[in-house]
Amino acid sequence: MATRRLTAFAALGLTAVVVLTDLATSAPLDPFRAPPAIALGSGQATSGAHCAALPGQ
Amino acid sequence: MATAAQPTVSVGLGTRATLIGVALALSLAVAVLAGARYGFILMIGLGFGIVLEGLRFGFAGPWRAMILRREAGGLLAQLLAIALVAVVAFPLLASNPGELTGAHAPVGIAMIGGAFVFGIAMQLVLGCGSGTLVNAGSGNVVSLVALPFFAIGSFLGASHLFWWTDLGTLPTVAFSGTSGLIGTLAALTALAGVVWWRASPGGRVVPRRLVLAAVAVAALAILNLVVSGQPWGVVYGLGLWVAKAVSLAGADLSANAFWGAAGNMERVQQSLLTDVTSLTNIGIIAGAFVVAAWRGGLQDPLPKLPARAWIATVIAGLALGYSSRLAFGCNVGAFFSGISTGSLHGWVWFGAAFLGSVLGVRLRAVLGFER
């Protein structure tokens, strides 16, 4: 009988495929150009994207 | 969030140590490869997944409990968590406007309609933005099937976003400062009062587990804001995953008004390990898996559902993603983070999505999700 073990591992597997494919095809990671560890107090504007943000706002 | 009976399978200490070790090792690897901030953000996502699954703190289920049985505990716990975040977030946003941003978005026709549709869909699959991730990570097959369609819907909704906002959108209204915080807390208290009043006499208590969960979720949401500079969100990351896949397949996104915008094009080209919502989403799935495996909860059999329920799952998944982009967020990005950082759209989102949930709860039986 199929159990949640199958689907839970499938979820992890699919997530791993997404991440590994991305690592192979995206711009290389460079930890030396990463933003400061904590945004608060960094003096830098936030650079992330959020679902509430509309481009051009 | 698990819905089946509590497991009885015992899990060895070695397995549990391995689960924790792997989770920490992955966070460390991201910190080394991408930068410390991104390692922290993945850990915050893991924390969300562990708390949401471990303490069974959710959004869709408590709304359903309130609608069907007048049990208010879960909804009151949500409002408590939002209030706790607001108390910290409002002063932080006011004093650090360049470094931190709120989840501020405009109210509009499509935004209201999107929230209403999201409310329907989240009751059909019993999973909201965070809930679908948590449920998939803990082995819920309905959420696992819905998740990729959620992501596709998020990509498509973002692609069409400007067409929808052109139908009619008000300027963004964001409450801020001391008066904004007092007003937000007063409105949350008033809403909690209405919920308490509408609840059944036996359904007015917030279980200790949910109080603890509300405090923990609030702490993680504040950490998310402090570390990443932006509030907790879900749906942008899911749409981004599909945008990257579409781009990889050779499509040119540069002409699209949303994905072709400078910031979004950069996100499409950069690694997911440098995208805030992608990292917390991955962490939520993995954190929920850790808790489910820790409990031995992966032995529960998968449900047997009729074909129309699976078709409804696919459609609901697409609707969750598409509608949450029109609504400028899901239960996390709009309701939780919107209200807790002062955005009017969070309040409007709640009203529209709750009305949609009232309809969605009734549609579940019609579509074969319940026998």
pLDDT digits (tens, 9 = 90+) for B36-59: 999 999 999 999 999 999 999 999
Counting the structural domains of chain B, the total is 1
ipTM of the complex: 0.95
Task: Please check whether residue B259 lies inside any domain of the structure.
Answer: yes
pLDDT tens, position by position, B182-206:
999 999 999 999 999 999 999 999 9
Cβ contact A52–B343 (<8 Å): yes
Question: Which residues of B are less than 8 Å from A47 in CB distance?
Answer: 229, 263
Cβ contact B299–A15 (<8 Å): no
Q: What is the pLDDT of residue B7?
A: 46
Q: Which residues contact B255 (CB under 8 A, 6 or more apart)?
A: none
Alpha helices in B103-176 (DSSP H): 109-124, 129-137, 141-159, 161-165
Tokens of B151: 């992501």
Task: Please check whether residue B8 lies inside any domain of the structure.
Answer: no
Task: Please check whether residue B202 lies inside any domain of the structure.
Answer: yes
Q: Please, which residues 179-238 of chain B have a Cβ atom closer than 8 Å to chain A?
A: 225-231, 233-236
Question: Which residues of B are less than 8 Å from A56 in CB distance?
Answer: 261
Residue B1 has pLDDT above 50, yes or no: no
Mean pLDDT of chain B: 94
Task: Please check whether residue B246 lies inside any domain of the structure.
Answer: yes
Q: Which residues contact B136 (CB under 8 A, 6 or more apart)?
A: A7, A11, B143, B144, B146, B147, B285, B288
Cβ contact B229–A47 (<8 Å): yes
- Please tell me the distance in Å from A13's CA to the nearest CA on chain B: 10
Residue B2 has pLDDT above 70, yes or no: no
Share of chain B above pLDDT 90, in %: 88
Task: Please check whether residue B2 lies inside any domain of the structure.
Answer: no
Which has the higher per-residue pLDDT, B194 or A54? B194
Task: Please check whether residue B3 lies inside any domain of the structure.
Answer: no
Question: Which residues of B are less than 8 Å from A19 in CB distance?
Answer: 272-273, 282
Task: Please check whether residue B6 lies inside any domain of the structure.
Answer: no
Residue B296 φ/ψ region, left for φ over 0, alpha for ψ in the -120 to 50 degree band, beta for the rest: left
B357 and chain A in contact, CB less than 8 A: no
- Structural domain range at position B318: 13-366
Task: Please check whether residue B196 lies inside any domain of the structure.
Answer: yes
Shortest CA distance from B146: residue in chain A: A11
- Please tell me the distance in Å from A33's CA to the nearest CA on chain B: 8
CA dihedral B47, B49, B51, B57 (to 10 degrees): 150
